[in-house]
Structures are given as C-alpha cells and as structure tokens.
Amino acid sequence: MLNSDFVRRFGLPALFLLQFFCVLFLLADAVADVFKLESLSFIKDSDSFEYAVVIALIMSMAATGYRMRRVLLRNRLVENQLMAASGAFCELLELHFENWNLTASEREVALLAIKGFGIAEIADLRKTKAGTIKAQLNAIYKKADVTGRPQLISLFVEELMGDTLAPSPV
C-alpha cells in the first residue's frame, strides 16, 4: 500500500497529469476525426485505447472529487475551530474583565490595547487625551496584576493554549 504522505504530496499532481494526458489524447483524436488526418491514424484506430483513456479519466475525476470533498470538509472543520477559538477568546476576555472589575471605559481601552492599538490611536478612537489612556492602561495593568501590555496579552494566550505550551526551562 502507498504511503499516505506520498499520496498527499504527489497524489493530486499525478491525478492532474493523468487527466491532462487523457484530455490531450481525446483532443488529438477529435482533431484527427474532424480534419480527417491520416497522419494521426494511430489515434483513430485505437478504440480500445480510447476506452482505457476514458475510463482512466472517469476514475481520476472520481478520485479528484473525493479528494476535493475531503479538503472542503477539512476547511469547514478548521473554520469551525477558528470560530470556536474566537468565541472562547471573547468569553475569556469578558471573564477576566469581570474578575478585574474593569469599568466600561477600561474594558474598551483594554480590548483596543490587546488588539494592538497604540496609546495615541486609542486616544484618537476614544476622542480623549493620551494621558487619560495611559492612566486607564495603568489601572488595567494594576487590576490584572501585570506589568504591561505584553504580559496582559500573554496572560490570554497562555490560557487559550492551555497545556499545549512546552514547559519553561527552570
């Protein structure tokens, strides 16, 4: 039996090449029939080879369809996992924001900071001064018991990844 990694890596290109040569043969046969080319008589006189080509084309199309179906199912699974992770992240944010007793303004600032916005950008978005944002961020960091934005973000990343992180060296 063929190695599944080999099939995954070379299966689709091999199917494509098989389909390409089958179509090329059938196209050459059609051209020979339409233009009554005697020079391509080896193609015209090979009905059994034509049948084999058509069968190979049908089988390769079925295999391609099967593979395409598996790829689409895998894609749907990954999309669902991404949606679940996104929902889990939102739930995790809300849980921590509640535990830290963040105000509505602090929640908004914390979310924008986690999304990667800078102090000036957050101030512009919230139509306030940069000093106000700095003060709110300091209050958020104190309530979250972290020293800054990188620690705040890593707190969420570590929780989402759970036990999948490698143990830290001692």
Angle between helices 149-161 and 47-99 (to 10 degrees): 120
pLDDT of residue 74: 93
- Asked if 143 contacts 100 with a C-beta cutoff of 8 angstroms, the reply is yes
Residue segments in the chain with a per-residue pLDDT below the cut of 70: 1-3, 40-45, 162-170
What is this structure's pTM? 0.52
* Sign of the CA dihedral running 113, 114, 118, 124: negative
pLDDT of residue 168: 52
Match domain 100-164 to its CATH number in 1.10.3720.10, 3.40.50.1220, 1.10.10.10, 2.30.42.10. Answer: 1.10.10.10
Give, rounded to a whole angstrom, the gap between the first and last alpha carbons of the chain: 46
